[in-house]
Amino acid sequence: MHLLTSGSKILVLAFVCVFTQSRAEQSKRMAETEFGKMPDGTAVKQFTLHNAKGMVAKIISYGATITELQAADRNGALTNVVLGAATLEEYLKGVNAASVIGRVANRIAKARFTLDGLEYHLAANNGPNHLHGGRVGYAKVVWEAKALPPRNGEGSIQLTYQSKDGEEGYPGNLHVQVTYTLTDDNELRIEYEAKTDRATPVNLTNHAYFNLAGQGDVLDHELWLAADRYTPADEELIPTGQIAEVKGTPLDFTKPARIGARIEQLKPKPGGYDHNFVINNGGKSLVLAARVAEPKSGRVMEVRTTEPGVQLYTGNHLKHGALCLETQHFPDSVNQPKFPSTILRPGQTFSSATVFAFSAH
């Protein structure tokens, strides 16, 4: 039998106290509940993250989806600023969701590409083209999800998905990992990582629909983009391969402008903004890509990313009830040799980060 000395007892008690405080702090910052069950009985988890300033983020394992993001206005009042739903059933019916999109976000022309001499055929789910990973993609599957130990008191959720070789027509088994962190600086940080056993295109993003007022349309939201150029596209929104200047077009947000100021110039097609912008100095490090301000509430959202592009979509099928800023590689990059490559090969790691930072003025 070994007896603890008085000094050892003090150390043990101190450890227990620290551990208990850590667990208590984690419980304040994070909660895990069941959101519902899939038709096959698979449970869908929901994680609720709180930061020290009252901001709240809710994420579910179905589609690695942000279901709610509560941000304060200039008076401190919290409002949900992303489109979402209260039940799993609504998501299963196809509600507009802030889900992770993959294996390749945006469009691939004619739903096919050639890689290392082999032609691959994908699901044509957008006319003749492939969109957002296919008919199911990553937005409509249940990810493995777990809470991570708090870093500096900040809560993080890690979600993983094993995308099998041949899924939606893509080559290679792809291991995908997404980590959400809600910081005490009112930032929702999204970190993506992927590894493959066979060469494959990878382009991951989150398709969050934002409305900083929490209701109404976004036409009075003021937008600034760190983008002097964009990728022109045809009527099916497939890039032509050119990179053009935004100056002198309705796409010029190099100075803050109302979303609705020139949107009529883009009708009837595509009915509003649905364009990929080339971020100035994008794709090299985490840079400021966009800033959105909502005048009445005073809410401001800044978007920082390591990606080279951002797709601005103004909820054209929702009467402009929300806007998306999808950080990404350019659409159809796998068929456009002049665009930054989306090809991931064995031994390499796909790594990307996007931060949505909130404040109020």
Which string of DSSP letters, residue by residue, matches 38-81?
-TTS-EEEEEEEE-TTS-EEEEETBTTEEEEEEEE-TTS-EEE-
Pairing assessment for the beta strands 287-293 and 324-328 based on DSSP bridges: unpaired
In DSSP terms, which residues pair with 323 in a beta bridge? 210
- Residues 334 and 107: their CA atoms lie apart, in Å, by 10
Catalytic member of 130, 207, 221, 320:
207
Q: Is 11 helix (H, G, I), strand (E, B) or coil?
A: helix
Q: Enter the DSSP assignment of 131.
A: E
- Residues 176 and 206: their CA atoms lie apart, in Å, by 14
Catalytic member of 221, 307, 326, 329:
326
What are 205's two structure tokens?
A: 């993003």
Q: Are 179 and 353 in contact (CB under 8 A)?
A: no
* Closest by Cα among 186, 183, 192 to 156: 183
Q: Can 326 be counted among the known catalytic residues?
A: yes
- Residues 348 and 74: their CA atoms lie apart, in Å, by 44
Residue numbers annotated as active site: 207, 326
